[in-house]
Every structure is written in structure tokens, then in C-alpha cells.
Amino acid sequence: AAAFSARWDNRTAARVDWDDIPGWTQNVDYNSPEIKPVIQEIVNRPGWAEGAIVIFWEDFDSRSTKADHCCRLARSYEGSTTYAPKLVATYSPPPVVAPTVTAQAASSVEDTTATTNGNITDNGGENCDKRGVVYDTSSHADPGDVAPGASGYANYAEDTNGFGTGPFTKAISGLPPGTTIYYRMYARNSAGYDYSNTEITFLTKPAAPVIIGATENQPDKVVVTWNKSTGATGYQVYRDGDPLGWLGDMATFDDNGADAPT
């Protein structure tokens, strides 16, 4: 495009008339005339394309070639009751909404501990002040916009601070061995709570069985007995550190390969 001086060139024929605005008084707001016709004429010009800009400036130094009294100048500074800002632009941010949270599979699952995993995919317009997990040994519906203590889940673990979007984890402990655990991740900002739509489940490992005894009064075998563990579906007996193979859901084993007692 040909170069031009924004100082002197007339880029639009549209105009707005400021004559109806009375003498301005300090600290008083005034409504300016509608300037959309000026802007609309510019954007309607041939060759206008996305990414182009509109520049507004004020002729404070009286450099305009227009005849006297064709425009009104405006300045704002302390000590004057006759000048006020010519243009005030305001911006209202969108309202804050509750965050959006998802839940992923648990990790590092042991007999009484596990790590739950979640993700704040949208903070709703401001950082969250709380995030965590609710969990129980039974399933529950999505709690909705309520605190974790009122969620229906028997337990919760929580962090408090300023949290943006992104994945997070929360370790939980004191779980019953060999039990299915149900959980949802959650987060909160000033607009409220959000819980993950998906309820995640995992099975804790069973506790190690307690050996009751190993009889040695048999000439051709050793009988090993133990107390079953909750949730266990199979057991394995070791002889001198070597596994003897997986057994079913039982509480006794005859080791016929053991050395005869002497």
C-alpha cells in the first residue's frame, strides 16, 4: 500500500458532532456521540482485511488543517475544572464459573495406600483454592456443587492453595486391604465445586496371610496352614526362598517334597 501521513491525510468522510456536549466539569462523566459511523466507513473500505487496525488520536497540539472551531480538544490534568478525558474505555471480564475436573486411573496401589490422579482442564476463569479426592468403599453419584464433607463419600483428602489448570495427584492411606475403592477428583473456585464425571475404581492388594504353622510330625510331608487374607484369590508357598507354584483359594498346603524330619 502507498505510504501516507496519518498526521495530515483524511482517511474517512464520516464524522461525529460534539457540539451538544456542554462545558465539561472535572470528575463528571459525559456520553460522547456515537462513533460507529466513523469506524464502519473505515472497515467498509476496499482492501480492508482481517488483522488491520484503526488508529485514533487527539489533536492536542492544534496541528489539524481544519478551520477553527471545527473540533473540540480534551485534556485531563489536575487543577482544572474545564477539561476532562475525551474517551474512556472499559472492559468487563467474563464471569467466573466452576472449574472442570477429570479423573484418571489410580497408581502405586498397595494394600492400604494408593495415589489418585486428576486433571483441572479448565479453572473457570480464576485459580482454584481447593482440589482433592473423595473416596469410599461404595459407589456414589456425582455430588454436584457441594463441599466434600457433604458429597456422600465417607472420606476425602484435600490440598488448599492457588491451583491453575493441569494434572494433579493426591495420595490416600488407611485403605482396607483387598477391597474395591471408588473415587472422584474435585476442585473449587469462588463459583463453586466440580467433581469428575467419571468415578474411578481400583482394588487394593490383599494383606499378607498369617501363617498358623507348619507340621513336622509327618514322615513324608510338611503341612503348612495360614489364615486367609481378604480379597485374595490365590496363594504361593515358598520353600527355602523358592516358590512352589500358585495355589487356589485355600488355607492349607501339603509339601510332599520337603526333607523328612530327622
Which of 40, 64, 90 represents a domain boundary (last residue)?
90
* Total count of domains within the chain: 3
Q: Are residues 196 and 115 in the same domain?
A: yes
Among 88-92, 177-181, 182-186, whose mean pLDDT is lowest?
A: 88-92
Q: What is the 3-state secondary structure (H, E, C) of the chain?
A: CCCCCCCCCCCCCCCCCCCCCCCCCCCCCCCCCCCHHHHHHHHCCCCCCCCCCCCCCCCCCCCCCCCCCCCCCCCCCCCCCCCCCCCCCCCCCCCCCCCEEEEEEEECCCCCCEEEEEEEEECCCCCEEEEEEEEECCCCCCCCCCCHHHCCCCEEEEEEEEECCEEEEEEECCCCCCCEEEEEEEEEECCEEEECCCCEEEECCCCCCEEEEEECCCCCCEEEEEECCCCCCCEEEEECCEEEEEECCCCEEEECCCCCCC
Does the pLDDT value for residue 111 go beyond 90? yes
Here the CATH number for the domain that contains residue 189 is 2.60.40.10
* Residue 197 falls inside a structural domain: yes
The residue-averaged pLDDT of 101-119 equals: 98
Q: Are residues 3 and 59 in the same domain?
A: yes
Instruction: Give the pLDDT confidence score for residue 148 in this predicted structure.
Output: 98
Q: Are residues 225 and 166 in the same domain?
A: no
Confidence of residue 249 (pLDDT cuts 50, 70, 90): confident
Identify the domain containing residue 161 by its residue range.
100-203
